Structures are given as structure tokens and as C-alpha cells.
Amino acid sequence: MLSILYSKQASRFLKRAERQMSDRILRRIESLAVVPHPQELQRVTGTGLFRIRVGRVRILYEVDVAANTLGIVKIDKRERVYDRV
């Protein structure tokens, strides 16, 4: 299992999100720590990031196998998540 590191933006999003949505997102992130490359995984074009869907929300993350970490880079709604990535 990988250790999870959250960016400042991702932490802020989770604190402000509705309880039900933040619970869904956190469950999904915990499953990514166990299986970091699930079948529905998509790469973000032009970056070294991966993306995964939770409803209308996208989670952008990176995996560092050498450091054994899962870095949650950005969590936001689909319309805004790719701005300034």
C-alpha cells in the first residue's frame, strides 16, 4: 500500500466539499493507494499525471514507486480541473 500525500489545493477541496462527496472521493483515493493503476485509469495528455473520475469530480494524481507514495495533485470539478495543470 502506498502512502498518500495531498496538495494544498486537494486538501482545501475536500474540506469544502459536501460530506457525501468527500467521503466518496476519500474512499476512491484509498483504493488507489492499494491499486494505483486501475482499469479505468486515464493519462493526462502532456503531463506525467493520471486522472480518475468520481462523478463530476476528477482526481489528478501521480505515483512515485521509488518513494512508495501516491501524490494527489488536484481535485476539482471536470470544468476546472485541467486549468493550470
Per the listing, cell 493519462 goes with: 43
Give Cβ neighbours of residue 74 (< 8 Å, ≥ 6 apart). 7, 9, 10, 59, 60, 81, 85
Q: What is the mean pLDDT of residues 45-69?
A: 94
The pLDDT value recorded for residue 82 is 84
Residue range 10-25, pLDDT digits in tens: 999 999 999 999 999 9
10-13, Cβ contacts within 8 angstroms, sequence gap of 24 or more:
10/72, 10/73, 10/74, 10/75, 13/75, 13/76
84 domain residue, yes or no = no
The answer to the question of residue 12 being in a domain is: yes
68/80 Cα distance (integer angstroms): 29
Domain-embedded: residue 43: yes
DSSP lists the bridge partners of residue 14 as: none
Neighbouring CB atoms inside 10 A of 11's CB total: 12
82 in a domain, yes or no?
no
* Within a domain: 63: yes
The count of structural domains within the chain is 1
Query: Is 13 domain-assigned?
Result: yes
- pLDDT grade for 46, boundaries at 50, 70 and 90: confident
Asked if residue 85 is part of any domain, the answer here is no
Q: Is residue 37 part of a domain?
A: yes
The per-residue pLDDT of the chain, averaged, comes to: 94
Say which CATH number the domain at 55 has. Answer: 3.30.2310.20
Confidence at 85, pLDDT banded by 50, 70, 90 = low
